[in-house]
Structure 1
Amino acid sequence: MVIGLDLGTSGVKAVLLDRDGAVRASASRPLAVSRPRPRWSEQAPRDWWDAACGALAALVADARAAGIDPRDVDALGLTGQMHGATLLDARGDVLRPAILWNDGRADAECAELERLAPTLRAVAGNLAMPGFTAPKLLWVRRHEPDVFARIAHVLLPKDYLRYRLTGVFATDPSDAAGTLWLDVAKRDYDDTLLAACGLSRAQVPAVFEGNRITGTLQPAVARALGLRDIPVVAGGGDNAAGAVGVGIVRPGDALLSLGTSGVYFAVSDGFRANPESAVHSFCHALPRTWHLMSVMLNAAGCIDFTAQLAGYDGVATLLADAEANARADRPWFLPYLSGERTPHNDVNAKGVFYGLTPDTQRADLANATLEGVGFALLDGIDALHAAGLAPDGITVIGGGSRSAYWTQMLADLSGRALTLRAGGEVGPALGAARLAHLALEPDAPLDAVCPQPPVVAVREPDMARHAWYRDVRRPTFRALYRALEPVFAAGAGHAA
């Protein structure tokens, strides 16, 4: 048996997987995000550790209750939120709260990084965006020089858990690609990119492929958790691990993840890039495999926002009202509550409802939100396909995939069939467990360890609805961003 441990933004999840690929137990613990200033997003690494220990202890207890001996667990794989800057001193102590993936403070540092490292886009395969790790380090160097001077180790969130579990400083290519310090084609650090941030290889974790063992549980940790001194496997960033969890591992495979953020992920047949449209070019969590990814910062999170704003008692009520009271005459919604990545790379963008009238009902706001998130996802899909990828099919995962109404709307918006598969809600933790399995059995057939789950439903697009969205609704959605972009930029000067 193997464990997959996922350090998300809103919580930590642990799953127990048997060698046949079945999930035998799961447990989770919540996390909170601190936003002490506009555009800031931080968490305390100690909270990650406490939540991880709580989730693992609960998982072991649940396994025992089900008659499973925890001594039968053979390995643990890691995954988690990407890009977070976790800074440690020479003693391994945390220097400041971790700056998270959805933190937007480092926009000025992005321009500085592009100036300091002219080869950035060609080597890292991405343009500099505030969510990535490297600009965060430039921000710390400028605004907190005393902290920067004491940095001995820069870790990504899941790799801080690895350090606490094993005492080892290590990462994997899929997560390291999100730092902007990795030569993505070579799957190794680029010294020039590190030097642009005032860092060296000695301060960043060693890179192991996602299915490689990086260390073993420290004896005291193993005893506290009720496990043996099992190996800990490199794992992957949350999106790459989520893809492994639903069998998106070969060129031609693609998935759409409808979580708090929205991600379109397509496996590529080698290193490809489209940085000018803010498409992410990353290593996959498996050797000799890469992927492209479009990212929007608020997807299902926008539905939570509108549910609260409109006075619904939950997302389920919003979805039911939207479906029962759908009208063509409804507002438009720009879903840029925390800025946006693909394709705009605009940290200053804001959420907007446009077209309100005295006749507007809250169901109209609900449908506008669902539609606006869909249009933003479609902008990212189009940008990714412009890099030359043509996926064979799209699998949908994440909490938003549970809504038949919304997934059908997304199929109609995009004009593409969307496939829903069983078990998609387990998410990246399943992929981390599968990578641990592959580390124990490196010769096992990939299709046997990482199968695509059974199909639950296929949402075929209604092409008449697609034409209406394409010709009537989408042009206004796109025109709104173009018209408001200078307003967003002008408002940035008023941020604290």
Structure 2
Amino acid sequence: MYLGMDIGTSGVKAVLVDEAGAILATASRELALSHPAPLWSEQDPDAWFEAAIGAVDDLASACPREVAQVRGIGLSGQMHGASLLGDDGRPLRPAILWNDGRSQAECAALERYCPSLHAITGNLAMPGFTAPKLLWVARHEPEIFQRVAKVLLPKAYVRYRLTGEMVEDMSDAAGTLWLDVGQRRWSALLLRATGLDLHHMPRLVEGSEVSAHLAPVFVRRWGLGNDVVVAGGAGDCAASAIGLGAITPGDAFLSLGTSGVMFRVTDQFAPAPALAVHAFCHALPGLWHQMGVMLSAAASLAWLASVMATPATELLMPLGDTVDGPSPVKFLPYLNGERTPHNDAAAAGAFIGLRAATGRDQIVQAVLEGVAFAARDNLAALGHASSDIAEVDLVGGGSRSALWAQICADVLGIPVHRVEEGEVGAALGAARLGRLAATGENAGEVCTRPRRLATFTPRASAAAAYDEAYHSWRKLYPALKENL
């Protein structure tokens, strides 16, 4: 048996996977976000840990005999979050998250100070990344910065609490702007640019390697054997790729989670920073990947559901599984700024085309379409960075909606496949990495592709209408930028 934990933004998911690779049980715990100032997004690191052990407690209670057989644990997590620890290993302040936009000025300063940053990291300096956050803390909270002994990403903090070891994998480390992504090692130059050194960083391992062993207190708590290994694990997108079996160059998927990602596997470090495309290490040795990132994908629908005080499922129900064509209303899904292709933390969301006759269904449809248009921006950016993507698997909470899948197919102009276990892909990928660390098996035998449940192909008439709507939608961001 193998256990995967995904430390997400809105919650923690845990999955129990058997020797055949099947998911036997899942559990989840919700997390709260804090926005103490405009553009700020924070969480309590201890909340991640408490939610993680709570989710495993639930699995152990429901499946005690199966959990007792767990041999390997893998961790996946939201990327980029800065958990600042003092000498005592305790957090010095709330963690600054991936969707926090306060450090725009620090990004510009970092790029001026280190002209080789793009070549080393393969990425632009963006407020979501970890390094600019530390520059912000040094400038605005110097008393805290002086006390920083270690900087850990979210899943690395949970690992530390579970094992006592401070370790990070290559895929997550690649999202800090401190990793030499091509060489897969910390860059002393980039650390120095933010007032840090190698002593502030955790030890690095590959995602499929053993990173540590579960502490005895949790071995006893969950009734496990004495030698349970914890794998290096992966950032959430790389973990989703492992869960999808996306381990061959050219494999691609679209994730509609809290954030959105267009992901493609590469066999070499392939940076394209001019297009705001991310180039990161994959969770397996010798592989990398490219990503286009939307900061508010399913989060856009969740926001609308909150504003309308109506569950998202009820908002979607009247629309059915297909629509004839684009909504007359257009939506910019930049509720938390945007990365690809704009790299604009200050970008804001907007509805355009509202009239007295506009109904709720048209607004809901506009939100789905706005996210799909943003995904097409990402598809175009990846196409310019490398070869075209011919089809994608669809994962994340948004993959539950057949309507959204069909809209994505019509907007992107390529087949979109909804897959089995697509909502727990990152946790499943984490469990697979835990298995690889425990057994040393070949990744190709473990990281198999899930069964495709449905394929959504572009409809000719709708695709033509959406192509026209997309080009109209693309004019909105530059036209509104100065006024939003």
TM-score normalised according to structure 2 size: 0.97
For the pair 1:167 / 2:127, whether they are aligned, the reply is: no
The reply on whether 1:13 has 2:13 as its aligned counterpart is yes
For 1:201 and 1:328, the matched residues in 2 are separated by: 52
- Cα distance in 2, alignment partners of residues 478 and 247 from structure 1: 33
1:427 Cα shift?
Answer: 2.2
Check the 8 A contact 1:41/1:99 in 2, yes or no. Answer: yes
Q: Give the length in aligned residue pairs.
A: 482
Residue identity opposite 1:260 in structure 2: T
User: C-alpha displacement at 1:434, in angstroms?
Assistant: 0.2
Q: Pick the aligned partner of 1:191 from 188, 193, 209.
A: 188
Is 1:291 equivalent to 2:293 in the alignment?
no
Q: Please say if 1:485 is aligned against 2:448.
A: no
Alpha-carbon distance, 1:326 to partner = 6.2
Structure 2 counterpart of 1:250, one-letter code: T
Shift, 1:246, TM fit: 1.1
Q: How many Å apart are 1:464 and its aligned residue?
A: 2.3
1:10-45 deviation digits (Å, cap 9, x = unpaired): 111111111110111221111101111111111111
**Structure 2 counterpart SS, 1:32:** coil
Distance in 2, matches of 1:372 and 1:391, equals 20
Q: Which runs of 5+ in 2 are unaligned?
A: none
Find the counterpart in structure 1 of residue 224 from structure 2.
Answer: 227
Answer with 314-323 or 404-413: which moved more: 314-323
Q: SS at 1:385's partner residue?
A: helix
Q: Tell me which of 368, 375, 378 is aligned to 2:376.
A: 378
Counterpart residue number, 2:33: 33
User: In terms of mean alpha carbon deviation, does 355-364 or 176-185 score higher?
Assistant: 355-364
- Structure 1 distance, partners of 2:309, 2:318, is 9
Sequence identity of aligned pairs in percent? 50
User: Which residue of the partner structure matches residue 472 of structure 2?
Assistant: 476
Contact 1:327 1:364 in 2 (8 A): no
After superposition, residues 313-352 of structure 1 pair within 5 angstroms as: 313-323=310-320, 328=326, 330-352=328-350
Task: Give the Cα separation in 2 of the matches to 1:195 and 1:389.
Answer: 36
- Which of 237, 240, 244 is the aligned partner of 2:238? 240
Paired with 1:161 and 1:365, the residues of 2 have a C-alpha distance of 39
Partner residue of 2:103? 106
**What residue in structure 1 maps to residue 447 of structure 2?**
450
Report the CA distance shift for 1:357/1:201 in structure 2 as closer, same or farther (over 3 A): same
Hey, what's the Cα distance between the residues in 2 that align with 1:190 and 1:377? 32
Q: For the Cα contact (< 8 Å) 1:257–1:397, is it kept in 2?
A: yes
Measured on the aligned residues, the alpha-carbon RMSD in Å equals: 1.5
Distance in 2 between the 1:349 and 1:69 partners?
47
Are the structure 2 counterparts of residues 340 and 214 from structure 1 closer, same or farther at C-alpha, using a change threshold of 3 Å? Answer: same
- Report if aligned partners of 2:436, 2:442 keep a CA contact under 8 Å in 1: no
For 1:401 and 1:316, how far apart are their aligned partners in 2? 12
Q: How many angstroms apart in 2 are the aligned matches of 1:178 and 1:467?
A: 37
Contact 1:82 1:238 in 2 (8 A): yes
**2:273 corresponds to:** 275
Distance across 1 between alignment mates of 2:327 and 2:420? 35
The answer (yes or no) to whether the contact 1:252–1:393 under 8 Å persists in 2 is no
- Structure 2 CA distance for aligned equivalents of residues 312 and 81 of structure 1: 27
Deviation at 1:447, TM superposition (A): 3.0
Structure 1 runs not aligned, ≥5 long: 489-496
Give the conservation status (yes or no) of the 8 Å contact 1:268–1:389.
no
Q: Which residue identity lines up with residue 33 of structure 1 in the other structure?
A: L
Contact 1:322/1:364 (<8 A) preserved: no
Letter paired with 2:345: V
The whole-number CA distance in structure 2 between the counterparts of 1:23 and 1:484 is: 46
2:467 maps to a residue whose letter is R
Residue type of the partner of 1:344?
H
Matched-pair contact (CA < 8 Å) for 1:216–1:232:
yes
Alignment deviations for residues 229-275 of structure 1 (CA, whole Å, 9 cap, x no partner): 41111000011001101111111110000111111110012111111
Q: Map Cα deviations across residues 78-109 of structure 1 (whole Å, 9 max, x no partner).
A: 11110000011111111111101111111110
Residues 398-417 of structure 1 mapped to structure 2, 5 A cutoff: 398-417=396-415
CA contact (8 A) 1:265 1:293 kept: yes
